Amino acid sequence: MSLITVGTMAFDAIETPFGKVDKIVGGSATYVAYAASNFIKPVQQISIVGNDFPEVEMTELTSRGVEMDGVEVVADKKSFFWSGRYHLDMNTRDTLVTDLNVLADFNPIVPENYQGADFLMLGNLMPKLQLSVINQLTTRPKLIVMDTMNFWMDIALDDLKEVLKKVDVLLVNDSEARQLSGEFSLVKAARKIMSMGPKFLIIKKGEHGALLFNENHVFFAPALPLEEVFDPTGAGDTFAGGFIGHLAKTQDISFENMKTAIIVGSAMASFCVEKFGPERLKEITQKDISDRIQQFVRLVNFDIDLV
Ligand code: AMP
């Protein structure tokens, strides 16, 4: 029983209304791995880094059950770099810089010992690389979940549509759902996106929670109202890691269990935003996670008399 995760391992520079960091570890696969490894081991990572990526970060991830056989280290190049600035609402941000660096020549190779994994998390990455990983797997995983972003919709839409045909669950935020579908109504957008391939669609709405669509069903999970939000970077990837981590742990990919999984994802994302980068994810314990999930239960649980 294992989970393969694919995505970036990166450096980020982040500016929020509350502070600024010039160089902090980030990347979609980094956040997914920190979140998912609380629920399932091994997490089998596929990514690429340059000569600048900290050894201590690799060691930390390894100690959490993240396997690095699929992480290529390029000796003479730099790691992927992304920089973003958040607006006052902290729900929207502008990308300032995307330096592909090592990612420009990345050709992911699925290690032999990763074959046979039941779950595949395609973290945010060039769509054609996501597709290449799917195509290398000798047995199709039980569930393929895909994350992406507007950047790839702008520059690689045709490739992205090819991947969509092969995945079970797509995760996007509300503006990306609108961009991909050309529809303003999220219900119409969901119907259109599901007709492109994925049977399940999750639309994340930042501090306003997340929607899960499947056929004619829809489920809503709130985000926890937090007193302090420092840095939303990686919240989407952390959500994805919690979501697929829970499904992989329980080996149940029903719509009912996905409802629980999006609560787990929301709980993990609520930790991520409390500090810059993945720092907070490194501190939390299993007890912190179950206490936070209980907070979600209390947040939405109420008795009502039928009128
Ligand atoms: P999120 O806030 O969940 O959307 O994820 C932010 C993380 O995604 C950052 O740590 C970035 O390093 C990484 N990232 C930003 N842009 C891209 C991109 N175009 N492809 C892959 N990863 C990216």
What pLDDT is recorded for position 198?
98
Q: Fill in the amino acid letter for 165.
A: K
User: To test the ligand 1 pocket, which listed residue (49, 83, 233, 272) has its Cβ within 8 A of the most ligand atoms?
Assistant: 233
In this structure, what are the phi and psi dihedrals at residue 12, rounded to the nearest 5 degrees?
Answer: -120, 150
What pLDDT is recorded for position 61?
98
What pLDDT is recorded for position 154?
96
Q: Show the low-confidence residues of the chain (pLDDT under 50).
A: none
Kindly report the protein residue whose alpha carbon is nearest to atom 19 of ligand 1: 151
How far is Cα 203 from Cα 200, in angstroms, rounded to an integer? 10
What pLDDT is recorded for position 175?
94
Query: How far apart are the CA of 159 and the centre of ligand 1, in A?
Result: 18
Query: How far apart are the CA of 271 and the centre of ligand 1, in A?
Result: 17
What pLDDT is recorded for position 305?
84
Q: Is the whole model's pTM more than 0.75, yes or no?
A: yes
Kindly report the protein residue whose alpha carbon is nearest to atom 5 of ligand 1: 234
Query: How far apart are the CA of 148 and the centre of ligand 1, in A?
Result: 9
Query: How far apart are the CA of 305 and the centre of ligand 1, in A?
Result: 45
What pLDDT is recorded for position 88?
87
Please check whether residue 20 is in contact with residue 12, taking contact to mean a CB–CB distance below 8 angstroms.
Answer: no
User: To test the ligand 1 pocket, which listed residue (124, 152, 233) has its Cβ within 8 A of the most ligand atoms?
Assistant: 124
Atom of ligand 1 nearest to the CA of 151: 19
CA dihedral 65, 67, 72, 75 (to 10 degrees): 50
Query: How far apart are the CA of 28 and the centre of ligand 1, in A?
Result: 5
Kindly report the protein residue whose alpha carbon is nearest to atom 16 of ligand 1: 82
How far is Cα 282 from Cα 274, in angstroms, rounded to an integer? 12
What pLDDT is recorded for position 20?
93
- 78-81's contacts with Cβ under 8 Å and 24+ in sequence apart are 78/50, 78/51, 78/52, 78/102, 79/9, 79/10, 79/11, 79/27, 79/49, 79/50, 79/52, 79/53, 80/8, 80/9, 80/10, 80/11, 80/27, 80/48, 81/10, 81/11, 81/12, 81/13
What pLDDT is recorded for position 302?
87
What pLDDT is recorded for position 221?
94
What pLDDT is recorded for position 1?
78
Site residues for ligand 1, CB cut-off 6 Å: 8, 10, 12, 26-28, 82, 98, 124-125, 149, 151, 233-237
Query: How far apart are the CA of 27 and the centre of ligand 1, in A?
Result: 5
What pLDDT is recorded for position 4?
98
Query: How far apart are the CA of 53 and the centre of ligand 1, in A?
Result: 16
Which value, in Å, is the radius of gyration of the alpha carbons in the chain? 18
Atom of ligand 1 nearest to the CA of 10: 12
Query: How far apart are the CA of 11 and the centre of ligand 1, in A?
Result: 10
